[in-house]
Amino acid sequence: MLCMDRKKTLCIANLLLATAGAIAVLYIFIESLKPTIAIEKERTLTIDLRQIPQNSHRTLEWNGRAITIFRTGRESSEELVRANDLTAGPRYTANDVPEFFIYESTSPVKGCPLREIQENNALTIEHQG
């Protein structure tokens, strides 16, 4: 009878230690998923959007990638509404065009960065990879 009580006690103690170890490992794993302050600073890009003129864009580098911010105006809004039938994107009306579009300059085909080239009043996109 004494042997059975000792086995139960050892099994319970073993189970409690295994549970405490699993909780400790889980806690360490969850804490490691939290980003550090340095990573949080790298993720943040601060820009005054009011400095971008209407109907123009600004291209910035963020985390090694080219990010383009386009600010719409009357002319570009009218062009987006006219292009509704040519695109697979959202259908815009004159009153619901967003003021800003932000996109990453990456080729959807090759996945490589794109570069804009201004030649003879035409904007051309060139693959960089």
The pLDDT assigned to 44 comes to: 76
pLDDT tens digits, 17-66: 999 999 999 999 888 887 777 666 667 778 888 899 998 888 888 877 77
Q: Is residue 39 part of a domain?
A: no
Whether residue 117 sits in one domain with residue 90: yes
Whether residue 26 sits in one domain with residue 52: no
pLDDT tens digits, 73-106: 988 888 888 888 877 778 888 888 899 988 887 7
Whether residue 49 sits in one domain with residue 26: no
- The verdict on pTM exceeding 0.85 is no
Residue with tokens 């006219």: 82
What is the domain range of residue 58? 45-127
The pLDDT assigned to 51 comes to: 92
Domain count of the fold of the chain? 2
Whether residue 51 sits in one domain with residue 18: no
Determine the Cα–Cα distance for residues 103 and 124; give it in Å rounded to an integer: 17
Whether residue 55 sits in one domain with residue 15: no
Q: Is residue 113 part of a domain?
A: yes
Whether residue 107 sits in one domain with residue 76: yes
- The secondary structure element, H or E, covering residue 71 is strand 65-71
Whether residue 7 sits in one domain with residue 56: no
The number of CA neighbours under 13 Å toward the Cβ of 27 is 6
Q: Is residue 40 part of a domain?
A: no
Whether residue 122 sits in one domain with residue 62: yes
Determine the Cα–Cα distance for residues 114 and 9; give it in Å rounded to an integer: 67
